[in-house]
Amino acid sequence: MSQLATETGALNLSQGFPGFDCDPALTALVDEHMRAGRNQYAPMTGVPVLRERLAQKTMAQYGVSYNPETEVTVVSGATEAIFAAVTAIVQQGDEVIVLEPAYDSYVPAIELNGGIPVYVTLTPPNYAVDWSAVEAAVTERTQLIMVNTPHNPTGYCWTRDDLNQLARLVQDRDIWLISDEVYEHILFDGRTHQSLMTHPVLRERTFIIGSFGKTFHITGWKIGYCLAPVPMTAAFRKIHQYVTFSTATPMQYALADYLSEPSHYQQLSAFYQRKRDLFLAGITNSRFRFIPAQGSFFQCVSYDAITTEPDYNLAVRLTKEIGVASIPVSVFYHQQNDYHILRFCFAKTDDVIQEAAERLSKL
Ligand SMILES: Cc1ncc(COP(=O)(O)O)c(C=O)c1O
């Protein structure tokens, strides 16, 4: 859809990346470290100062301790971390529970490792986790459950009750967890991020995956990290070592410096809440229906009052006819469930958000 947006010159609210640049102070730090000659391979596990800052930030934010030497690894984006974690755990015939709609790299990573995805469906308008359905999906062969909070594409944010339900389900079983928390700093309306690491039962069996791309508006740098208990980190690093070996050195030093100022990520929820509200105010008198996103930088809207056409067709038509690109949510389901929902990314400049909302309101 991004490609179609480029071809047609449409406002691109489809793919999930910011339509504005990062803080120039961050690029200045990269420049500084490049000029200081930090341009050779970083250690396989990440530069020590960045791992230490990540451990400090995690302690300050969630009150949970990770050893920077043995439990923190810097990788080339969350997508690499997801692949490495899945590969470390999944073997031929293992079942992996996937809550869908789901980010598109989970299932290929599972299948490439011979795993079998077992789907649990989340449905609009709330997309809350149906715990009886998750429980029903667990079998003797369940090896792993994939978690994503705040959730792409729906914006759903896990509650404390979700963590408790998951803990109850896994505590007497040999089930591992991957928790994709790349939107950990983007939650709205006073919500706090419920990281799986904050539940002792979950911390011991979870790969927590984060990404600087979403937090600092640098998706093109592809730098992420994985926090996990010692034996899990050891297994994870065996994969990471032979996928990318290590991650861009000057960027790691720059991020370590930049992380020492917590306001750089603490203001992100307010920053994106204002953009979400700008978009919602713009479409409030339209025929689209929505529940405000709880987190992430995506807003799902229902178009049932406008047309009965399939979501994919409508997304293409809106891109071509009114010049607003979105993503049809059916693409995040393995059987393309179509609930007539489009996902709009509001990580865009205010003028793009307002113009897009204005065009959508005319439908
Ligand atoms: C839920 C989710 N996980 C992972 C990623 C990928 O992150 P990265 O760019 O760090 O690989 C994305 C990017 O859109 C995402 O939405």
Span from the CA of 353 to the centroid of ligand 1 (angstroms): 22
Tokens read off for 145: 């459950």
Please give the number of the atom of ligand 1 that sits closest to the Cα of 296: 16
- Cβ of 101 less than 6 Å from ligand 1: no
Residue 217, SS3?
A: coil
- Residue 85 and residue 91 in contact, taking contact as beta carbons nearer than 8 Å: no
- Cβ of 219 less than 6 Å from ligand 1: yes
Span from the CA of 152 to the centroid of ligand 1 (angstroms): 9
Q: Is 277 exposed, middle or buried (0-12, 13-18, 19+ CB in 10 A)?
A: middle
- Cβ of 16 less than 6 Å from ligand 1: yes
Is residue 1 scored above 90 in pLDDT?
no
- Cβ of 153 less than 6 Å from ligand 1: no
298 & 227 share domain: no
**Mean pLDDT score across all residues of the chain:** 97
String of DSSP letters for 53-89: HHHHHHHHHH-----TTTTEEEES-HHHHHHHHHHHH
CATH value at residue 290: 3.90.1150.10
pLDDT single digits (tens) 99-156: 999 999 999 999 999 999 999 999 999 999 999 999 999 999 999 999 999 999 999 9
pLDDT single digits (tens) 310-336: 999 999 999 999 999 999 999 999 999
CATH value at residue 63: 3.40.640.10
pLDDT single digits (tens) 274-310: 999 999 999 999 999 999 999 999 999 999 999 999 9
Going by C-beta distance under 8 Å and a sequence separation of 6 or more, which residues neighbour residue 243? 80, 83, 84
Angle CA(80)–CA(57)–CA(156) in degrees, nearest 5? Answer: 60
What number is the average pLDDT over the span 13-17?
A: 93
Element (H, E) at 211: strand 206-211
108 & 212 share domain: yes
End residue of a domain, out of 233, 260, 287: 260
End residue of a domain, out of 232, 260, 288: 260
57 & 205 share domain: yes
What number is the average pLDDT over the span 9-36?
A: 96
End residue of a domain, out of 219, 234, 260: 260
Is residue 267 scored above 90 in pLDDT?
yes
Could you tell me the maximum CA-CA distance found in the chain, to the nearest angstrom? 59
Name the residue at shortest CA distance from atom 7 of ligand 1.
78
145 & 246 share domain: yes
Number of alpha carbons in the 13 Å side-chain half-sphere of residue 301: 26
CB neighbourhood size of 205 (10 A) = 20
pLDDT for 287: 97
pLDDT single digits (tens) 166-197: 999 999 999 999 999 999 999 999 999 999 99
- Cβ of 296 less than 6 Å from ligand 1: no
152 & 222 share domain: yes
250 & 328 share domain: no
Tokens read off for 167: 């803990």
- Cβ of 194 less than 6 Å from ligand 1: no
Span from the CA of 78 to the centroid of ligand 1 (angstroms): 6
Best CA proximity match to 214, nearest among 102, 295, 99: 295
Span from the CA of 35 to the centroid of ligand 1 (angstroms): 30
- Cβ of 295 less than 6 Å from ligand 1: no
Tokens read off for 254: 């720059």
Element (H, E) at 136: helix 131-137
Residue 105, SS3?
A: coil
Name the residue at shortest CA distance from atom 14 of ligand 1.
16
135 & 178 share domain: yes
- Residue 129 and residue 99 in contact, taking contact as beta carbons nearer than 8 Å: yes
207 & 317 share domain: no
Tokens read off for 187: 């939650």
Please state, in angstroms and rounded to a whole number, the distance separating the CA atoms of residues 227 and 179. Answer: 10
pLDDT for 2: 84
Instruction: State the pLDDT confidence band at 53, using cuts at 50, 70 and 90.
Output: very high
Domain count, the chain: 2
194 & 251 share domain: yes
String of DSSP letters for 116-164: EEEEEE--TTT----HHHHHHH--TTEEEEEEESSPTTT-----HHHHH
Domain span at residue 321 reads 2-16+266-361
- Cβ of 182 less than 6 Å from ligand 1: yes
245 & 270 share domain: no
Please give the number of the atom of ligand 1 that sits closest to the Cα of 152: 1
273 & 224 share domain: no
Tokens read off for 199: 């539940």
Buried b vs exposed e over 213-235: b needs ≥16 C-beta within 10 Å? bbbbbbbebbbbbbbbbeebbeb
85 & 215 share domain: yes
Put residue 16 in one of left, alpha, beta given phi > 0 → left and psi -120 to 50 → alpha. beta
Span from the CA of 287 to the centroid of ligand 1 (angstroms): 31
Span from the CA of 149 to the centroid of ligand 1 (angstroms): 12
- Residue 347 and residue 21 in contact, taking contact as beta carbons nearer than 8 Å: no
